Amino acid sequence: MRRNDKEIKDKNEIAAILKRAIVCRIAFSENNKPYIVPVNFGYKDNCLYFHSAPEGKKIDILRNNNTVCFEIDIDFDIIKAATPCNWSAKYRSVIGFGKAFFVEDFEEKRSALNHIIQKYSDISNEYEFSEGVLDTVTDC
């Protein structure tokens, strides 16, 4: 990071950003080519969860290379100056690297989906999924 004075190291502040953010961008790599997609996500116990259809480009890439990078940002604003070359941006973001793993265990998958649902809705209790629903999504 070029500007160490801007780096956020406080785990509580990082968690607050993850809680408020709406979109997580996940970057994958296939044959040395980057591929990035925005996803809905959940966050719990230092893990990010996202779900997907069981097929598609990101799933195909993950099956061969589960190394990922993610970016989440909030409070973005352009700071204008006298000339456009002196403009700046203000935002708070979290960037991380890691490994993505498919969630296969039924209870863990249910829990992961509940974290995502609770993030984007006013449902505060555990959602009861109808039979077979958990078989139709892939969680990572």
Domain ranges for the chain, please list them: 4-126
Least trusted range by pLDDT, from 16-30, 100-114, 120-134: 120-134
Residue 89 · residue 78 · CB < 8 Å: yes
Residue 52 phi, psi dihedral angles, 5° rounding: -155, 165
CA distance 122 to 109: 20
In the structure encoding, which two tokens stand for residue 56, read together?
A: 């598609």
> Which residues, at least 6 apart from 44, have a Cβ–Cβ distance to it below 8 Å?
111, 115
3-state secondary structure of 51: strand
pTM of the entire structure? 0.82
Q: Note the pLDDT tens digit of each residue in 40-62.
A: 999 988 889 988 888 889 999 99
Domain spanning 4-126: CATH 2.30.110.10: yes
**pLDDT value at residue 139:** 63
